[in-house]
């Protein structure tokens, strides 16, 4: 039943692809772009404990408007190991984790007022071994254009993993979302975004986004052998995006981790414990090149 939803959404994607290509043209749809992103979150303690962690994230993505592929690496630096609620108090309980993701998405123009977006993805997030690390995601919403500046969106998104399935609504209100001058914003869930175009090339922005993922731990994990971590977080950013030309764009942000929670599961999927990481500051830098 869980994978049936994934297959249905993929089928809808295939059916609607032809119509979109007629509207926007094949060349524009398949034009690839590559992006490289680096983010750092400063040292933060686990709530109720003395142990702490800082995180460095690097992500490489290649995609166009039809499909994409990305690789993400997280490196962890744990401090005050004896004050952590897991591990042996001497060695780092988790040094790195990796994620590979492939996705396909399609926007479909029903008519001048209604717009429909579908996205499907598969990914693997793991410490060392990839067995039981695979998950699937679906994202679908419709947008109704009230006028040239205002629109409302509603739908749902879901993530399936071997030990956890999450399904949540999508609801938002947008103002001038596709404009390149003055103010623009999207208010809702899972993303809230406010931007102001200083000029056509420079955009100042603020946002908050919710995300969820499940990590398969290694067979020799210092946290839980062959277990899983389910992580949920709300991340906010304040920064600027600058488009040097039609091909090259740079983004830089200050980050603030509003809320980071994670649950620990055994290899059989039994929930063991839950923890929170206190808020921390960070930075983000991203470059994008359109071929």
Has residue 56 got a pLDDT over 50? yes
Radius of gyration of the chain (CA): 20
Has residue 3 got a pLDDT over 50? no
Looking at residue 65, its pLDDT comes to: 83
Domain residue limits, the chain:
2-290
Confidence of residue 158 (pLDDT cuts 50, 70, 90): very high
**Nearest partner of 55 among 97, 100, 89, 83, judged by Cα:** 97
Average the pLDDT over each of 4-18, 48-62, 273-287 and give the range with the smallest value: 4-18
End-to-end Cα distance, the chain? 40
Residue 141 host element (H or E): strand 134-145
> For residue range 73-132, what is the model confidence (pLDDT) as tens digits?
999 999 999 999 998 889 999 999 999 999 998 878 888 899 998 999 999 999 999 999
> For residue range 185-196, what is the model confidence (pLDDT) as tens digits?
999 999 999 999
Looking at residue 156, its pLDDT comes to: 94
How many other CB atoms are there within 10 angstroms of residue 119's CB atom? 18
Looking at residue 246, its pLDDT comes to: 85
Looking at residue 2, its pLDDT comes to: 47
pTM to 2 decimal places: 0.86
Average pLDDT score over the chain = 89
Considering all CA atoms of the chain, what is the largest pairwise distance in Å, rounded to the nearest integer? Answer: 62
The percentage of the chain sitting over the pLDDT mark of 70, rounded to a whole number, equals: 91
pLDDT mean over 249-269 = 95
Q: How far apart are CA 103 and CA 119, in angstroms?
A: 7
| Cβ-contact 120, 111 below 8 angstroms | no
Looking at domain 2-290, its CATH superfamily turns out to be: monomeric porin ompg (2.40.160.40)
């Amino acid at each position: 039943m869980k994978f049936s939803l994934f297959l249905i959404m993929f089928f809808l994607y295939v059916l609607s692809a032809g119509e979109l290509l007629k509207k926007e043209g094949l060349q524009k749809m398949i034009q690839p772009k590559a992006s490289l992103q680096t983010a750092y979150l400063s040292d933060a303690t686990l709530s109720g404990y003395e142990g702490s962690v800082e995180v460095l994230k690097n992500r490489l993505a290649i995609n166009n408007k039809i499909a994409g592929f990305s690789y993400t690496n997280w490196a962890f630096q744990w401090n005050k190991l004896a004050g952590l609620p897991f591990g042996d108090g001497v060695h780092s309980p988790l040094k790195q984790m990796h994620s590979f993701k492939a996705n396909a998405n399609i926007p479909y123009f029903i008519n001048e007022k209604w717009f429909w977006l579908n996205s499907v993805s598969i990914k693997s997030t793991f410490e060392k071994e990839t067995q039981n690390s695979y998950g699937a995601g679906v994202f679908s919403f419709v947008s109704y254009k009230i006028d040239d500046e205002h629109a409302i969106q509603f739908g749902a998104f879901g993530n399936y993993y071997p030990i956890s399935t999450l399904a949540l609504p999508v609801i938002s209100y947008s103002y001038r979302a596709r404009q390149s001058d003055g103010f623009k914003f999207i208010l809702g869930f899972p993303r809230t975004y406010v931007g102001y175009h200083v000029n056509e090339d420079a955009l100042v922005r603020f946002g908050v986004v919710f995300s969820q993922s499940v990590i398969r731990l290694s067979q020799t994990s210092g946290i839980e052998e062959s277990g899983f971590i389910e992580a949920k977080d709300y991340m906010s950013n304040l920064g600027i995006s600058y488009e040097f030309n039609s091909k090259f764009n740079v983004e830089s942000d200050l980050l603030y981790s509003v809320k980071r929670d994670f649950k620990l599961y055994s290899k059989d999927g039994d929930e063991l414990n839950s923890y929170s990481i206190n808020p921390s500051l960070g930075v983000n830098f991203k470059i994008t090149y359109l071929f």
